Amino acid sequence: MREHAADPPVEERIGDPLREREETVAVAESCTGGLVGSLLTDVPGSSDYFDRGLVTYSYDAKLQHLGVARETLDDRGAVSEPVAREMARGVRDVAGTTWGVATTGIAGPSGGTDEKPVGTVFVGVAYAGEWGTQSSDATVSRYEFDGDRLAVKEQIARRALRDLLAEVTTKRNGE
């Protein structure tokens, strides 16, 4: 499961900046089925910053556990930028964490379309700023990965953690 890992892997690099700032993270996963949370908890001491992971594979799970709007799911489908944004915000707010990370995509081998081929994923990262500062925000990025289902899932999970690390680093530098 380390085929797409850097050295050291991102899951080992995310802990120190979160610990230093006393920040926490929760994840909402669809296509990765818990892999992001699994990677995070592979690291000893991750309980210092990892709160929870929710696998919200179905529309109903996204609606009920993350507050993703029914209209968003109906209009755009689960594999979309607005759903990834709502998932990341939803898990952040439900868990009461500093950061929320979400993955929604098509791991394959079927389910793709011309517009959203197999390997398409949206990764959302949401930040909770201090009340009254209007600094809370969420970013979403679209990616396309190649490989079989397991390879695509691993690439998505590591990309989600790299996106989180990039956002944590940006916030640390005051941007």
Q: Dihedrals φ, ψ of 147, to 5°?
A: 125, 180
Q: What is the pLDDT of residues 6-58, one digit of tens each?
A: 678 999 999 999 999 999 999 999 999 999 999 999 999 999 999 999 999 99
Q: Dihedrals φ, ψ of 27, to 5°?
A: -125, 145
Based on the number of CB atoms within 10 Å of its own CB, is 90 exposed (0-12), middle (13-18) or buried (19 or more)?
buried
Instruction: Give the CATH superfamily of 10-172.
Output: CinA-like (3.90.950.20)
pTM of this structure: 0.93
- Average pLDDT of the segment spanning 126-144: 95
- Is 2's pLDDT higher than 70? no
Among 65, 43, 63, residue whose Cα is nearest residue 53: 65
Distance between CA atoms of residues 16 and 20, nearest Å: 6
- Residue ranges per structural domain of the chain: 10-172
Q: How many CB atoms lie within 10 A of CB 172?
A: 12
